[in-house]
């Protein structure tokens, strides 16, 4: 048992060290492929997204969270998935990003990623699974992860940073999903075609960001207070 623990410690350390490079590698590869004009490269980037998801989930598992630590993360992921389904009639008005940000700030960056990723996976059993699912998992996971990083630095206690990231998160999510669409389906791949695709989705991405800021205004204080109380009570 002790040998297993000793083996897990360096492995967990390696995974933690690889988290940020893995997350950054996806948009970096997308930008490089777009700049090089490589068409129909969704398969290449999809592999990178799958590897990033596997690494992040493996990192969360390697941290060996106890059951009492898993429960808040699982509950928030379920609430985010249910909230997305509840707001299905309103395009891009979804609470997923806001809940992932709250989870990251209150429970840590890895929990924020897991909440965002699982919310996308679970809610797509209602909306429909497809090649877009890993991209949504990555994008919403990234939103929660960055929320966790900002929370760890105490930045989200300031309203401009909190609502600024809420607004920006919608644009980041949209940019990632637009990149998946452009690299996979836009041919020939030219900068005018890329800009046209991004411009077409901009109103929806702005709506997503504004809705996220509004959801944060509604849940940040009560949900954050309740989660911190649970964290303190059960020493999570």
Q: How far apart are the first and last CA of the chain?
A: 23
pLDDT at residue 49 in the model: 93
Look at residue 212 and tell me if it is in a domain: yes
Interval 172-230: pLDDT, tens: 999 999 888 888 777 777 778 788 888 888 999 999 999 999 999 999 999 988 888 87
- Block residue for tokens 């598992």: 61
Distance of alpha carbon 7 from alpha carbon 58, whole angstroms: 15
Look at residue 26 and tell me if it is in a domain: no
Q: How many domains does the chain have?
A: 1
Look at residue 9 and tell me if it is in a domain: no
Look at residue 22 and tell me if it is in a domain: no
- Helix (H, G, I), strand (E, B), or coil: what is residue 189? coil
Look at residue 185 and tell me if it is in a domain: yes
Look at residue 58 and tell me if it is in a domain: no
Distance of alpha carbon 87 from alpha carbon 94, whole angstroms: 6
Angle (CA) 213 198 183, round 5°: 120
pTM summary value? 0.91
Look at residue 6 and tell me if it is in a domain: no
Among 58, 9, 35, 26, residue whose Cα is nearest residue 190: 35
- The number of residues in the chain equals 236
The mean of the pLDDT values for the chain is 87
Helix H or strand E segment including 170: helix 159-185
* Domain hosting residue 187, numbered range: 67-234
**CA 34 remoteness from chain centre:** 22
Distance of alpha carbon 56 from alpha carbon 207, whole angstroms: 28
Confidence of residue 60 (pLDDT cuts 50, 70, 90): confident
Confidence of residue 233 (pLDDT cuts 50, 70, 90): confident
Identify whether the C-beta of residue 106 lies closer than 8 Å to the C-beta of residue 227.
yes
**CATH number of the domain encompassing residue 98:** 1.10.1760.20
pLDDT at residue 3 in the model: 45
Look at residue 60 and tell me if it is in a domain: no
């Amino acid at each position: 048992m002790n040998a297993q623990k000793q083996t897990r410690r360096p492995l967990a350390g390696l995974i933690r060290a690889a988290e940020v490079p893995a997350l950054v590698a996806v948009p970096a590869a997308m930008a490089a492929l777009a700049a090089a004009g490589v068409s129909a490269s969704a398969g290449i980037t999809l592999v990178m997204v799958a590897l990033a998801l596997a690494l992040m989930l493996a990192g969360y598992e390697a941290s060996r969270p106890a059951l009492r630590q898993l429960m808040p993360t699982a509950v928030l992921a379920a609430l985010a998935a249910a909230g997305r389904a509840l707001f299905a009639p309103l395009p891009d008005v979804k609470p997923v990003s806001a809940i992932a940000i709250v989870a990251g700030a209150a429970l840590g960056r890895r929990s924020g990623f897991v909440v965002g990723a699982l919310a996308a996976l679970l809610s797509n059993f209602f909306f429909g699974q497809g090649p877009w699912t890993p991209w949504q998992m990555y994008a919403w996971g990234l939103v929660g992860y960055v929320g966790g990083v900002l929370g760890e630095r105490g930045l989200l206690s300031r309203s401009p940073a909190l609502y600024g990231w809420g607004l920006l998160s919608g644009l980041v999510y949209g940019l990632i999903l637009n990149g998946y669409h452009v690299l996979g389906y836009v041919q020939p791949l030219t900068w005018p075609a890329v800009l046209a695709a991004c411009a077409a989705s901009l109103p929806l991405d702005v709506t997503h960001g504004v809705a996220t800021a509004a959801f944060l205004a509604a849940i940040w204080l009560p949900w954050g207070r309740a989660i911190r109380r649970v964290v303190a009570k059960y020493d999570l």
